[in-house]
Amino acid sequence: MAVKFRKALGLHVTIFNRSTSKKDEALNLLKVDDRFVRRTDKQQLEWAFFPSEVRIHPISLNIGSKTLFGSVTGGTKDTREMLKFCAANKIYSEIEVIPIDYINEALERIVKKDVKYRFVIDIKKNSLK
Q: What percent of the chain has pLDDT over 90?
A: 28
85 φ/ψ angles, rounded to the nearest 5 degrees = -65, -45
Domain-wise residue ranges, the chain: 2-92, 93-129
Q: Indicate the length of the chain as a whole number.
A: 129
DSSP structural state of residue 72:
S
Rg of the Cα atoms in the chain: 20
pLDDT in tens, 28-81: 766 666 565 566 656 555 555 656 677 888 888 888 888 877 777 788 999 999
What is the distance between the alpha carbons of residues 34 and 12, in angstroms, rounded to a whole number? 9
- Residue ranges with strand state E in the chain: 14-17, 35-38, 95-99, 118-122
The architecture (CATH level 2) of 2-92 comes to: 3-Layer(aba) Sandwich (3.40)
